Chain A
Amino acid sequence: MRSNIRRSKLLLSVTALFSAFASFANAETLTVYTYESFTSEWGPGPKVKAAFERDCACTLEFVGVTDGVALLNRLKLEQADTKADIVLGLDTNLTEDAKATGLFAPHGMDLSGLAVPGGFMDDIFVPYDFAHFAVVYDSDKVKNPPKSFAELIAANPDQKIVIEDPRTSTPGLGLVLWVKSIYGDKAADAWTKLAPKVLTVTPGWSEAYSLFTKGEAEMVLSYTTSPAYHMIAENSERYQAAAFKEGHYLQIEVAAKTVKGKDNPLSDKFLAFMVSPVFQDIIPENNWMFPAGKTSTPLNPVFDKMVKPAKTFLYSAAEVSANRKAWIDEWQKALGK
């Protein structure tokens, strides 16, 4: 008897699993593809959904994939058959490839109210948040944090850093672009000098940050905003970002409507909502990035303590697209020595 109940429960959940996937074409539904940490219960997703649905008498449906790279790949797989009206969570390094798919439509919005360092402008992609890449260190162990990339390279090799792989992760690519911005033709040399300090190279941010908080390395490549999480959520000042004199490389996260989403009136409504204070208020303490637009109230003062880069580096999407493979090859050869 009991095993029967268990069996039918299992059957039910399998059925639920399948039926959950049988989608229904509903004109009142807006489908947004994004990355998983956006849709997770502690991410901005649930709050964004609630706020948007309050006004629109519609359903906002999130579909979450691993990360920004997987997001673009999923679109490349689906092509014109995609269910997505909006794609949210690409970064500026991916927009060139994304444009090349021909799957995105211009937003036609006035974005002059947004405040992104470097004044990013695009006719298709709308920025919603940003942060600079930074070396985050454990202040219990690093008493004299490096004040520049040059100091990081020249530092004691006993102080290790964990970095991400540019072949498989956005922060990894960000670091390659950062080094290239500072060192140009001498980037390979910089990598060779940095190599003894690199503890290991992980496939993604999660593995790197876990090793770092486990105490395996004194430093990790992360974001200027990372310390805000520890200060607000854990009430700890232990993890800090190092301000580098040369400047920091910028990551801007963007969204766009698809060619399919062009026909859904909710798409434009969502993009406008995305740069409005209601959405922007949710970003800082849920996505742990800086809002691209105005918020209704000032940010938590903790964000004011974050590193304010003296200079912002950002290659254009076209430059990244044209050089990514060559620069990654250079990284691999120099670091693999």
Chain B
Amino acid sequence: MAKSLGQIIRSKRLDGTRLAVGFLVLSVIGALVASAIGATLVSGLATGFGSGFAGIFPAAFFTLEQAALSTLLSAAFAVPVALALESLPRFAGRRALLALFAVPLALPAIAVVLGLVTLYGRNGLIADGLAMAGLSLRPDIYGLTGILIAHVFFNMPLTVRLLLKAFEEVPQEQWKLAESLGFGACSRIRHILWPVMRQSLPGTGGLVFLLCAGSYTIILVLGGGPSTTTLQVAIQQALSFDFDPAKASLLTLAQLALTGLVLAVIPKGQSLFQTGGVSARRFHQAQAGERALSAVAIATAALFVLSPLLAIAWAGVNADHDRIIGSSLFGQAMTTSLAIAAGSASLATVGAYAIAAMRYALGSNGHQDWADAAGKLTTALLGIPALLLGVGWFVLLAMTGRPFALAPLMIILANALMALPFALQMMSTAVNRHFATDDRLSAALGLKGWSRFTIVDWPVLRAPLAGAFLFAAALSFGDLGVVTLYGSDRIVTLPSLIYQNLGSYRSNDAGALVLYLTLLTGALTLLGTRSRSDERA
């Protein structure tokens, strides 16, 4: 039976605390976002809103169209791949493959575009292959095709990783039961994995949808021309030549409303509060046919994701590495990027943990609707351009007279907000299961507060929290974010250094930097998965 929030707080102190802390975190986030948007809107009231909202409807339509198609394609590709990876839990290179699956989202969009055109472009390998085969056909990816390929490249691996994360939380009793009942592949999927997917896919799809709706460089570069224009392009325009932050805010609100509508119709994640231990150990052996199918799915996905990454790496191999790595600017960019990533990933992880705990408290007390709403609100953060947050906060800080003094903090905050939805999705299932399992035990042992966290929560949640942290760090590491707005010769990050090189004819050096970014992100993620398997060993 659903209890009122007051009742929860009175009857269960722990859930009450979770509600209060989670609410506090959401309020702070809400205040940060609202202050940014509010500040720009108020500045617009003073100076008048720019005209020229013409063309907004086609842009809005195309925003939704490409985002919906990208999301559906990513999910359709990711589901078989995730199932395949689930059915083949131990093959050589699996961990490395999954680590590389974390890389695309961490790469600057322009690097990905260049990697993709190396393969699919007019002058790409496929075009060369066709020419060698004597075909005069030349692939033309500029337009919706290119946009979709790029978005699936970013988001299929993300969806796979998030699905596998959810699969890992299936209680071992279920696997044992399935084994004793002699389940085949189909029954396993239907009775064990499908319910998990039903719980996880709506949230994952929401993330992907918002990411694609907010996509900018990809849309412009691969879109082929102004007919494929999105709201995000209009927002960037309003923050560029037109410099009309108020208009950018209005457009952002329109984009949020549109994407909000879509998020609202996404079916509710059916929450499973499973209890009991989980184990990476599976109790079934896949049949030959299933193994073959799985191998095909995995090989296809690996080829799709790895070949552009290889193309990116190839473009960076032949650079003068000693000179680049030896330059003081590189050292500075590396340190700054790592510091920003560490700061924003910490904030994102702590924030996501508080929200996950609040959602558990809501859901386990009969308020699943509210838990869903809290999740969607967090996801919606992705609909807000970081640049707009930067401008909004700037307008506010300008009142203090020294807005740029706080630039590093603003950069960290903006990156943290962008990473938070991912961190939440990464840890939600684990947090739900852990609380459902261990709350009673902790209560019986009389463990509370910090001691409960260190004795009960930390040992179990260390792995998922570390995973979320590293994923958030990787995202933040590759993000150009608001650095460009607050830019100065003193704040140079790896992505801004890449753009500086590209902007000065130095595409070779830029290629090398992208290669380092790729390797570093892969290594960071591998580190994250290692801590996880240690845990399970």
Contacts and interface: CB of A to CB of B under 8 A. Distances in A.
Interface of A: 10, 13-14, 17-18, 20-23, 36-37, 39-43, 45, 62-66, 69-70, 72-74, 76-79, 81, 83, 160, 165, 167-168, 173, 195, 198-207, 209-211, 213-217, 226, 229-230, 233, 288, 324-325, 329, 331-332, 335-337
Contacts of B241: 69, 167-168, 173, 324
A211 B489 contact: no
A36 B224 contact: no
A202 B110 CA distance: 10
A215 B487 CA distance: 31
Nearest to B401: A81
Contact of B216 (A18, A63, A203): A203
Contacts of B488: 21, 63-65
Given A165-B220, A167-B241, A202-B220, 11 more contacts: A17-B339, A64-B489, A66-B499, A81-B403, A201-B225, A201-B226, A202-B221, A207-B113, A215-B121, A216-B121, A325-B242
Nearest to A141: B123
B224 A13 contact: no
B268 interface: no
Contacts of B401: 81
A210 B113 CA distance: 10
A295 B113 CA distance: 40
A72 B243 contact: yes
Nearest to B329: A41
18 contacts: A18-B409, A36-B500, A70-B485, A70-B487, A72-B243, A73-B240, A73-B243, A78-B403, A200-B223, A201-B223, A206-B110, A210-B507, A210-B510, A211-B117, A215-B123, A226-B505, A325-B242, A335-B225
Contacts of B506: 42
A62 B489 contact: yes
Given A36-B487, A160-B122, A332-B55, A203 B236 contact: yes
A201 B335 CA distance: 34
A10 B341 CA distance: 11
A93 B122 CA distance: 34
A214 B484 contact: no
B226 A209 contact: no
Contacts, number: 186
Q: How extensive is the interface on chain B, given as a class?
A: 35 or more
B491 A216 contact: no
Contacts of B240: 69-70, 73, 167-168
A13 B336 contact: yes
B110 to A, nearest CB: 5
Given A42-B506, A65-B484, A214-B117, A200 B237 contact: no
Q: Give the interface SS of chain A, mostly helix, strand, loop or mixed.
A: helix
Contacts of B220: 165, 200-203, 207
B231 to A, nearest CB: 13
Contacts of B391: 77
A13 B225 contact: no
B518 interface: no
Contacts of A207: 110, 113, 217, 220-221, 502
B142 interface: yes
Given A40-B500, A62-B489, A214-B118, A81 B408 contact: no
Nearest to A16: B335
Given A77-B398, A168-B240, A214-B123, A39 B489 contact: yes
Contact of B142 (A43, A83, A199): A199
Contact of A21 (B54, B123, B490, B505): B490
B222 interface: yes
A239 to B, nearest CB: 10
Interface in B486-502: 487-491, 496, 499-502
